[in-house]
């Protein structure tokens, strides 16, 4: 068997294992430390699925060039398979040397990759293990670095983490969650909560954001923060997303049929779902099945979905817009805001991230950002919604700046279907603070 990976020319697992064993033996004799970096590309599957494996392969080759530029000749880089790479740094003085290398890799990966006249962006998550503290043999060292890499992913991706012993317990916990998520889908343990979106001038409910919860038979109601990222990593988000979309559309139609004022229902859509081959077909099938008109659905997309310089994103967004589906940029201001997207894509709404709203009454910079997004939205003829409104002061400031819509605990927490139906019947009376 050839000792090198055919696509990248890097040492394969077997050759890497030999070098790692040699490095461990030498370090043991000399009483030195060595470092192992486990690099996994973030959402690489999404590139393969949307742009094809040919482009994915070229991106991997470009990534390898960047990795090589970040290490010394004495270091070894190996492709473990797919989009996973392991780096052996046999000569380090301190663990901090590995951190410096990880920072260099993140910075190098972040620069655009020019593939077939497209600029592609990719980031990586890196786990670091140190011999002898995190493993006395190669297998354990790789496993520790791999575990740490998952924690880097959970920490928002595009960062690095050193292995810590308590990560092992949490990794077992994660695998348990993954297995029970699969069971939960079969047993239909998920529910949607709805949070109203308010027209700030009239006070009327104009929309609802559907937010998933897991009604766990023993642990009670589990918020999405504890399982959506895991579902994304193991691909279950596709099934989960299809369920959310269908359920939300059924509910919106059912409110209309009950004679309640028609509102627009918003569904969060992750990059993985958006780029799935049958995403559009599924949406059309849901409209057909539920009878909901497309104009009553808004997809909340994060900037990472728009970030891919892909023809498919552009045509998908235009097809959705032509159907009548509304498109909103979620967490606006926190991602890769390239303002040219606002011109290129048929975006209806900018949703100002709650981190800016939270501090807008006490922090002049946040107030300036909120105000700038509102006036930019007005000039570009896009609706602007502020999320995370918790106080009357924030509401009044947003109203004074002519922000179109708002959402937040000041008006209502996300609530069950029955409670939301009651809100539609009675209207909202904001909490006093
Ligand atoms: N792909 C999918 N992602 C989903 C889905 N359902 C939810 N999510 C994502 O999970 C994130 C966390 O959601 P949740 O715990 O429900 O939190 C939402 C609100 O409860 C919270 N919120 C709303 N108002 C306030 C407020 O005034 N203060 C405060 N501290 N928090 C508030 O914000 C969350 C809504 O955020 P956003 O989506 O950015 O509008 C959540 O971010 C979802 O992305 C799903 O079905 N699919």
Q: Give residue 45 CA to ligand 1 midpoint distance, Å.
A: 24
| pLDDT number for residue 77 | 97
Ligand 1 atom nearest residue 387's Cα: 24
Same domain? 200 vs 320: yes
Question: Do the domain assignments include residue 284?
Answer: yes
- According to DSSP, residue 430 is labeled P
Q: Which two tokens stand for residue 181?
A: 């998520």
Same domain? 60 vs 147: yes
Burial class (CB in 10 A: 0-12, 13-18, 19+), 409: middle
The parent domain of residue 32 ranges over 13-164
Same domain? 17 vs 75: yes
| pLDDT number for residue 336 | 58
Question: Do the domain assignments include residue 4?
Answer: no
Three-state DSSP state, 310: coil
Question: Do the domain assignments include residue 433?
Answer: no
Q: Give the residue, out of 224, 236, 360, with the most ligand 1 atoms within 8 A of its beta carbon, to mutate for a pocket test.
A: 224
Neighbours of 3 (CB within 10 A): 11
- Give the domain-ending residue among 164, 196, 222: 164
Neighbours of 323 (CB within 10 A): 15
Q: Which residue matches tokens 């991106």?
A: 59
Same domain? 280 vs 153: no
Alpha-carbon gap, residue 324 to 419, rounded angstroms = 28
Same domain? 184 vs 236: yes
Phi, psi angle pair for 385, to nearest 5°: -125, 135
Question: 233 near 223, Cβ under 8 Å?
Answer: no
Phi, psi angle pair for 386, to nearest 5°: -100, 130
**Residue 268, beta-bridge partner list:** 300
Q: Give residue 64 CA to ligand 1 midpoint distance, Å.
A: 36
Burial class (CB in 10 A: 0-12, 13-18, 19+), 181: buried
| pLDDT number for residue 116 | 85
Which CATH number covers residue 215?
3.20.20.450
Alpha-carbon gap, residue 356 to 370, rounded angstroms = 7
Nearest CA to ligand 1 atom 13: 224
Question: Do the domain assignments include residue 387?
Answer: yes
| pLDDT number for residue 104 | 97
Q: Give residue 225 CA to ligand 1 midpoint distance, Å.
A: 8
Question: 385 near 404, Cβ under 8 Å?
Answer: yes
Burial class (CB in 10 A: 0-12, 13-18, 19+), 359: middle
Same domain? 193 vs 298: yes
Q: Which two tokens stand for residue 400?
A: 């004074």
Q: Give residue 387 CA to ligand 1 midpoint distance, Å.
A: 10
| pLDDT number for residue 136 | 95
| pLDDT number for residue 119 | 84
Same domain? 21 vs 100: yes
Q: Give residue 300 CA to ligand 1 midpoint distance, Å.
A: 11
Q: Give residue 204 CA to ligand 1 midpoint distance, Å.
A: 21
Q: How many domains does the chain have?
A: 2
pTM over 0.80: no
Question: Do the domain assignments include residue 8?
Answer: no
Report the interhelical angle of 311-323 vs 279-290 (nearest 10°). Answer: 10
Neighbours of 288 (CB within 10 A): 9
Alpha-carbon gap, residue 112 to 121, rounded angstroms = 5
Three-state DSSP state, 378: helix
| pLDDT number for residue 202 | 95
Question: Do the domain assignments include residue 7?
Answer: no
Same domain? 75 vs 202: no
Q: Give the residue, out of 236, 265, 268, with the most ligand 1 atoms within 8 A of its beta carbon, to mutate for a pocket test.
A: 268
- According to DSSP, residue 3 is labeled S
Same domain? 145 vs 122: yes
Same domain? 290 vs 379: yes
| pLDDT number for residue 335 | 67
Same domain? 209 vs 84: no
Q: Which ranges constitute the DSSP H helices of 31-154?
A: 44-51, 53-69, 95-110, 138-154
The residue among 120, 125, 57 whose CA lies nearest residue 85 is 125
Q: Give residue 423 CA to ligand 1 midpoint distance, Å.
A: 19
Q: ipTM more than 0.85?
A: yes
Question: Do the domain assignments include residue 218?
Answer: yes
Which CATH number covers residue 77?
3.30.70.270
Alpha-carbon gap, residue 152 to 143, rounded angstroms = 14
| pLDDT number for residue 430 | 74
- Give the domain-ending residue among 164, 189, 209: 164
Same domain? 194 vs 305: yes
- According to DSSP, residue 270 is labeled -
pLDDT in tens, the chain (433 residues): 668 899 999 999 999 999 999 999 999 999 999 999 999 999 888 788 777 889 999 999 999 999 999 999 999 999 998 999 999 999 999 999 999 999 999 999 999 999 988 788 899 999 999 999 999 999 999 999 999 998 898 787 899 999 998 898 877 877 888 889 999 999 999 999 999 999 999 999 999 999 999 999 888 999 999 899 889 878 899 999 999 999 999 999 999 999 999 999 999 998 888 888 799 999 999 999 999 999 999 999 988 777 665 566 888 999 999 999 999 999 888 765 567 788 889 999 999 999 999 999 999 999 999 999 999 999 999 999 999 999 999 999 999 999 999 999 999 999 999 999 999 999 987 764 5
Around ligand 1, the residues with Cβ closer than 6 Å are 195, 209, 211-212, 223-225, 228, 241, 244, 268, 270, 300, 330-331, 354, 387-390, 407-409, 414
Question: Do the domain assignments include residue 39?
Answer: yes
Alpha-carbon gap, residue 420 to 311, rounded angstroms = 39
| pLDDT number for residue 138 | 96
């Amino acid at each position: 068997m050839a000792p090198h990976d055919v696509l990248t020319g890097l040492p394969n697992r077997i050759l890497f294992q030999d070098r790692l064993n040699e490095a461990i033996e030498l370090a043991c004799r000399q009483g030195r430390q060595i470092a192992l970096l486990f690099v996994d590309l973030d959402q690489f599957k999404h590139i393969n699925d949307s742009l094809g494996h040919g482009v994915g392969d070229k991106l991997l080759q470009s990534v390898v060039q960047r990795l090589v530029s970040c290490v010394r000749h004495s270091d070894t880089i190996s492709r473990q398979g797919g989009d996973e790479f392991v780096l052996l740094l046999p000569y380090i003085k301190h663990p901090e040397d590995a951190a410096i290398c990880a920072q260099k890799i993140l910075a190098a990966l972040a620069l655009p990759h020019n593939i077939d006249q497209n600029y592609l962006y990719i980031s990586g998550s890196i786990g670091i293990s140190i011999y002898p503290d995190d493993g006395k043999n190669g297998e354990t060292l790789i496993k520790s670095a791999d575990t740490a890499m998952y924690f880097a992913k959970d920490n928002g991706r595009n960062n690095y983490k050193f292995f810590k012993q308590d990560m092992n317990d949490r990794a077992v916990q994660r695998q348990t969650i993954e297995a029970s998520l699969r069971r939960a889908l079969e047993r239909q343990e998920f529910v949607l909560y709805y949070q109203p979106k308010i027209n700030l001038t009239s006070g009327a409910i104009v929309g609802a954001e559907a937010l998933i919860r897991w009604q766990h038979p023993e642990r009670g109601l589990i918020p999405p923060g504890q399982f959506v990222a895991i579902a994304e990593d193991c691909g279950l988000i596709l099934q989960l997303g299809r369920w959310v979309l269908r359920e939300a559309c059924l509910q919106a139609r059912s409110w209309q049929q009950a004679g309640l004022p028609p509102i627009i229902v918003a569904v969060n859509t992750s990059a993985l779902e958006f780029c799935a081959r049958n995403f559009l077909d599924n949406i059309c099938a849901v409209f057909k099945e539920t009878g909901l008109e497309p104009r009553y659905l808004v997809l909340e997309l994060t900037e990472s979905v728009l970030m891919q310089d892909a023809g498919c994103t552009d045509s998908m967004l235009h097809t959705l817009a032509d159907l009548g589906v509304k498109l909103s940029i979620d967490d606006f201001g926190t991602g890769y805001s390239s303002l040219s997207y606002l011109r290129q894509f048929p975006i209806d709404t900018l949703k100002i991230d709650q981190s800016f709203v939270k501090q807008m009454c006490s922090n002049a910079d946040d107030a300036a950002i909120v105000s700038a997004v509102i006036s930019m939205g007005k000039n570009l003829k896009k609706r602007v919604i502020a999320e995370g409104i918790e106080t009357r002061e924030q509401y009044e400031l947003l109203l004074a700046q002519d922000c179109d819509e708002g959402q937040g605990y000041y008006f209502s927490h996300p609530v069950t279907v029955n409670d939301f139906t009651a809100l539609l019947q009675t209207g909202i009376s904001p909490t006093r603070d």
